[in-house]
Amino acid sequence: MIVLRLDDQIVKIDAGELVGYEVDGHEFMHQKGSPGWRNSDTEMFPIIGPTAEADFKVKTPYGSAIQDQHGLLRELEYVVAHQSDRMVVFEKEYRAGTKVKNSKYPEKSWVEDLSWPYSFRFLKTVQLNEKGLKITFNISGEKGMPFMLGYHPAFKLYLENTLIKAFDKSISIPEIMKSGSKALQVSDCEVITLKDVKNLTIRTEGFGNFMLWTEVTNMLCIEPITFYPYAVEQQHLDQGFMVLNKNGAEFVVELLPF
């Protein structure tokens, strides 16, 4: 467990997963083991969304890639590349064509191994500052590599009438639950505020969209995404790809409690 501290802010990270963000004694992150979801955060890369209806295949310029829901990045292990009192950098590297064991097999998927026809390096930087918590994702790899990116954090809810503020619209937890497993799309949006006992603003750069998901009333996933995967049929997920340029790509998520 890695712990970062700054004044009354405490961050806890377990193997690259943000398992705690406490400010002045208030815990913002969903706790593993509580009802709702088995994790507290993860990354969705190089695809977002399910692929079962497409035989677990996603089209790329180098042919079809075998991908399960939300991609193969979460099946790789982070290593610590750098660490200080206020910051830690985690790294994952993947070599093109390498088979990766699918943790969903065989209980939830019939695909045992996943693969991607491009090599890439993925950095996740978690840094505390006076405004809050900044999470930066840096992607490097072959120029022209197609990809999507989604960040999937889960937040702890305290009130029965918690609201999410996006632009001038307020969204309730029952509204989100009605969307089911597809999640509720919030398009063309870079800032969302969770209004609970303590408010938390999620500000992003590079993603452009959010989706909101929960099946319980004690937690909510507020997910910055580059593409809403349910806008197309699974066979056409490639329509949502971005393309990596020679300088790579950077995406930012800020959790701002102040």
pLDDT digits (tens, 9 = 90+) for 158-195: 999 999 999 999 999 999 999 999 999 999 999 999 99
Burial 4-35 (b: 16+ CB within 10 A, else e): bebeebbbbbeebbbbbbbbeeebbbbeeeee
Give the DSSP H or E segment for 175.
Answer: helix 173-178
Helix (H, G, I), strand (E, B) or coil at 71: coil
Contact 210, 192 (CB under 8 A): yes
Percent of all residues in the chain with a pLDDT value above 70, rounded to a whole number: 100
Q: What is the mean pLDDT of the chain?
A: 97
The model carries a pTM of 0.96
- State how far the Cα of 83 lies from the Cα of 103, in Å rounded to an integer: 29
Overall average pLDDT of the 2-10 stretch:
97
Instruction: Name the band, by pLDDT with cuts 50, 70 and 90, for residue 3.
Output: very high
* DSSP letter, residue 29: B
Q: What phi and psi, each to the nearest 5 degrees, are found at residue 181?
A: -70, -20
Please tell me the distance from the alpha carbon of residue 193 to that of residue 171, in angstroms, as a whole number: 10
∠ CA 18-166-216, nearest 5°, is: 55
User: SS3 helix, strand, coil % of the chain, rounded to 5?
Assistant: 10, 45, 45
The CA distance from 127 to 242, in Å, is 26
Q: Per DSSP, what are the bridge partners of residue 128? A: 133
pLDDT value for 5: 96
Which pLDDT band holds residue 26 (cuts at 50, 70, 90)? Answer: very high
Structural domains of the chain, with CATH: 2-256 (2.70.98.10)
Amino acid identity of 105?
Y
Secondary structure (3-state) at 73: helix
What is the three-class DSSP state of 107?
coil
Q: Mean of the pLDDT values across residues 240-256?
A: 97
